[in-house]
Structure 1
Amino acid sequence: MTTDAVDAPSGRSASFTVLTTGYTLSTGPGVAATVSYVTDGGRHVVVDPGMVAHRDRILGPLAELGLTADRVTDVVLSHHHPDNTLNVGLFGEATVHDHKAEYRADQWLDRDADGHALTPSLRLIATPGHSPEDITLLAGTPDGVVAFVGDLWWRPNGPVEDPVSPDQAVLRASRERVLAVADVIVPGHGAPFRAADALL
């Protein structure tokens, strides 16, 4: 079985909404994370609730979807840089997922994120490169697989060479792993884009 067949979520019932589209100093007035909402099978997932101009940039769009912060069941942190994690405390009832564990209230459950399924349509894979701890959430939707990659790509046009990556070869290998399965990529600081348009 090929890696992409192993990585692909078995289900195709998830849906997603970008709550706020992020930017970096080169594309905006400061730094903001792209924060997304994904739902499947009763799970309400927020991805990378990081830096934004005001927390209403996260909570307002959730409210428009009929959700309050305490109804969010899961938070996925693609990595532990503050610009992607700063507002995780808004979701006190959620289970928080990172590369090595799940956290809820005072409980810490060690587990490897690589291959961990939240539902048949929501799967985590390890994608180190921007940092050693990077993970990607793969969401199987009726229109294809959407990859929430954190800063594996910052925005649709790269950067090709990540200036903070400890190992560009590892970064490229993780990008190739994502591209083997994804139809759409949601980057850490920009709008979603087609995987076919991704820069390696």
Structure 2
Amino acid sequence: MTDAPLGRSAVYKVLTTGYVGSTGPGVAATVSYVSDAGRHVIFDPGMVASPDRILGPLAALGLGPGDITDVVLSHHHPDNTMNVGLFPAARVHDHQVEYRGDQWSNRDAEGYELTPSLRLIRTPGHSREDITLLAGTDTGVVAFAGDLWWHAQGPADDPVAPDRAVLRASRLRVLAAADLIVPGHGAPFEGGESTPL
């Protein structure tokens, strides 16, 4: 598991479990909160029925929008980015840049460490720009994988994927590094023999 972060001190909470197509009334992103070493991270603040679906669970943790230090976007599809503006003070991370206010710093996401327990890796497939946040926790590595999987059932054939072989390679990479996967539009799941590749 060379991709896995060395640290194991991160904690996380899924703030809202998303859905898509037959699993829900429309489309909503799975939005997660991850914390480590003073960093407060929101992963994929995308489409939800209302902002309170993100801010309410965050408030239950004793946090407000101004407490969020970082936002990680798995890719640039609107259903995964729609609510990034809820966190105006945060650094925003994507596949090649860190944005803050009116400034940005170019850097490759591959291997970029927010902390010793939080690492970004490139995992193209659903789009060419996909990244995954790997979080080392005391129970194992959690992969916040965006739309590499929409939910535990896949889809096996992602109709949006520009290159099926690239998607499969990224899925295998995440499965090799993670004990638990948080998909883009569903509940967390453990990878196994039935996990779509």
- Name the TM tier (shorter chain): over 0.9
The SS at the match of 2:25 is coil
Q: Gaps (5+ residues) in structure 2?
A: none
Find 2:195's aligned residue among 182, 194, 198: 198
Deviation of 1:195 after TM superposition, in Å, equals: 1.9
- Partner residue of 2:35? 39
Is 2:100 aligned against 1:104? Answer: yes
Distance between the aligned counterparts of 2:95 and 2:128, measured in 1? 9
**1:66-121, CA deviations, whole angstroms, 9 ceiling, x for partnerless residues?**
00001000000000000000000000010000000000001110000000000000
Distance between the aligned counterparts of 1:46 and 1:108, measured in 2? 18
The SS at the match of 1:173 is helix
Whichever residue aligns with residue 26 of structure 2, its letter is G
Whichever residue aligns with residue 51 of structure 2, its letter is R
Is 2:160 aligned against 1:181? Answer: no
Deviation of 1:199 after TM superposition, in Å, equals: 2.0
Distance between the aligned counterparts of 1:198 and 1:183, measured in 2? 13
Pairing of 1:58-77 with structure 2 (within 5 A): 58-77=54-73
Distance between the aligned counterparts of 1:198 and 1:64, measured in 2? 33
The SS at the match of 1:186 is strand
Of all paired residues, the percent bearing the same amino acid is 73
The SS at the match of 1:83 is helix
Distance between the aligned counterparts of 1:39 and 1:120, measured in 2? 12
Whichever residue aligns with residue 107 of structure 1, its letter is Q
Pairing of 1:87-126 with structure 2 (within 5 A): 87-126=83-122
Distance between the aligned counterparts of 1:199 and 1:159, measured in 2? 7
Deviation of 1:26 after TM superposition, in Å, equals: 1.7
Q: Gaps (5+ residues) in structure 1?
A: none
- Partner residue of 1:25? 21
**1:118-156, CA deviations, whole angstroms, 9 ceiling, x for partnerless residues?**
000000000000000000000000000000000000001
Is 2:149 aligned against 1:153? Answer: yes
TM-score by length of 1: 0.97
Please, what is the CA RMSD of the aligned residues? 0.7
